[in-house]
Amino acid sequence: MGTAAREPRVSATDGTRVPDARNDKNRIQSYQRMVDVLRSFSSSARRLSVAQIAAGTGLPRPTVHRILAALRDIGFIEQDAKGGDYMLGISLYELGSLSLANMDLHREAQPFVDQLARLSGCSVHLGVFNGQSVVVIEREDLDEPRKSLASHVEIAPIHCTGVGKSVGAWLPTDLIRKIAAPGLQAYTVNTITGLSALEREYARIRKRGFAFDNEELQLWIRCVAAPIRNASGRVFAAISVSGPTQRMGPQRQSQLGPLVADTATALSRHLGFDNRHPVGTGDHHTR
């Protein structure tokens, strides 16, 4: 004999329905399961089967299948044309772009981005660390009008880009190794692909306070970047200038380094950083 569904209690004072604590708990558990399924995906696990998600989350396959169907209906999950593996959907990208556009950093940094572009005569990029890489949320190009944020969202790896290395140099060692575990992709002949070499590069960045990208992501493009800290002193973002190699040689990079670092420090202070954790102290093991 089946059990009747629990109806919400009715208030004796105004007749409104009082939420049932057990139903609330069930709803929260359902939401948590959805989040667990979404978090199964990563940069190294972009396509997953029901079995893989079930194994990773510990949820029964029928439950995973049901959750995936619900997430697919709202665009958070997509399934390949053959009805096999699943992947994150475009709706999540759109929400992420909207979130980035509304971040305090994006709003507060604009004057600093504009000033750095004027003083350097270079393109300026502003990026935020997302746990795996740096998401570029603003780009100022002097030779083209500003476009919408959505058209400028880019992913900057932590091993071969200026903004990426500026953040990576202050990440905890165990997180760096976790990100590097699937392998460091070679984009050009100059890309650092070994973990030991990357750690030595990070040490140099911490010592001087800014990072170089010497045609490591794209040939003929060089970059100088520096880390941005939040009020607690943690590096969570970076700002950079970039340009073609013929205009951005080693000497020009060295000249721009202090300017970029000073801009990053000024922006960090504007965001609440009190300079008790100066760049270059090697506090990359703390969060």
3-state helix, strand, coil in the chain (%, to 5): 45, 20, 40
Query: Is residue 79, in this structure, part of any structural domain at all?
Result: yes
pLDDT at 101: 57
Number of H helices, E strands in the chain: 9, 10
Residue 37's domain comprises: 9-88
Residue 171 CA: distances (Å) to CA of 121, 165, 188: 30, 10, 24
Is residue 138 a contact partner of residue 106, using CB atoms and an 8 Å limit?
yes
Do 83 and 158 lie in a common domain?
no
Do 159 and 70 lie in one domain? The reply is no
Alpha carbon separation from 135 to 90, 199, 239, 278 (Å, rounded):
16, 21, 11, 24
Helix (H) / strand (E) element for 222: namely: strand 221-229
CATH number of the domain that residue 65 is part of: 1.10.10.10
Structurally, the chain folds into a number of domains equal to 2
Do residues 101 and 71 both lie within one domain? Answer: no
Q: What is the pLDDT of residue 44?
A: 76
pTM over 0.85: no
Q: How far is CA 273 from the centre of its chain?
A: 21
Please tell me the predicted confidence (pLDDT) of residue 285.
42
Contact 17, 23 (CB under 8 A): no
Task: With beta carbons less than 8 A apart as the criterion, state whether 187 and 232 touch.
Answer: no
In this structure, is residue 281 part of a structural domain?
no
Print pLDDT tens along the chain (287 aa). Answer: 444 445 555 554 555 555 566 777 788 888 999 999 999 998 778 899 999 999 999 999 999 999 999 999 998 999 987 778 999 987 887 677 667 656 678 889 999 999 999 999 999 999 999 888 998 888 888 655 444 333 344 889 999 999 999 999 999 999 999 899 999 999 999 999 999 999 999 999 999 999 999 999 999 999 999 999 998 899 999 999 999 999 999 999 999 999 999 999 999 999 999 875 454 444 554 33
> Which CATH number do you get for residue 137?
3.30.450.40
Judge if 121 and 84 occupy the same domain: no
215 and 253 in a single domain? The answer is yes
Q: Determine which helix (DSSP H) or strand (DSSP E) holds 68, and give its type and residue range.
A: helix 61-73
Domain co-membership, 144 together with 210: yes
Q: Does residue 279 fall inside a structural domain?
A: no
Residues 156 and 256 in one domain: yes
Residues 143 and 214 in one domain: yes
Tell me how far CA of residue 45 lies from CA of 42, 56, 182, 213, in angstroms: 5, 11, 10, 27
